[in-house]
Amino acid sequence: MPGHLKGDRLPLSIIPYNGRRPSVDPSAFIDPTSRLVGFVKVGRGSAVFYGSVLRAEEGEVWIGEHVAILEHCLVEAPSGVRVTIGDGSLISHRAVVHGASIGRGALVGIGAILLDGAEVGDEAMVAAGTVVPSGFKVEPRSLVAGVPARLVRRLSEDEVNAIESSLEEALRKAERYKQLIKL
């Protein structure tokens, strides 16, 4: 974890568990108030913002490249499960990803909950407050909403581009924070 070690000491946000140690690309931004526990891998150019927790004591959490996990999210891998968040995805404030996987370029809205075995396709959008039940599959380039999640419609090219723009803004902020917060 180059860029995150100070001598032999780990920052408080990086917590090994039973010999399983988080791995963070040196270009990633990990806010000091976040927690990465166990087998968590964070890819190049990604960002984990304030108060978010990524837990994999007995599972695995794989965060792709250029992913933004905004404030107060929980990403947890239950025992024996690999949770994957694909390159270029945006996980909004207070979202919960528990045993679920997310494709590339997707958006998970504020306060959404994804339960065990749920899958979000590439460039798909989960609306704010949506609960995606266990085993539910969100098709690529689609919008789901509701409790439980229901297909609303296909996403337009403009909406897919808006996801990318929102992600880029979050990653720009992460770059600024890296300069302000000395890890």
Q: Please give the average per-residue pLDDT across 89-114, as a whole number.
A: 99
Q: What is the pLDDT of residues 131-147, one digit of tens each?
A: 999 999 999 999 999 99
Inform me whether the pLDDT recorded for 17 exceeds 80: yes
pLDDT band for 10, please (50, 70, 90 cuts): low
Q: Which run of H or E residues covers position 174?
A: helix 157-180
153-181 confidence digits (pLDDT tens)? 999 999 999 999 999 999 999 999 998 88
Instruction: Indicate whether 11 pLDDT > 90.
Output: no
Distances (CA, A) of 38 to 22, 76, 84, 153, 155: 6, 10, 15, 38, 36
> Which helix or strand (DSSP H or E) is residue 123 part of?
none
Domains (ranges, CATH) in the chain? 14-180 (2.160.10.10)
Q: What spatial distance separates the first Cα and last Cα of the chain, rounded to whole Å?
A: 12
Q: What is the mean pLDDT of the chain?
A: 93
Distance CA 179, CA 183 (A): 10
- Whole-structure pTM value: 0.92
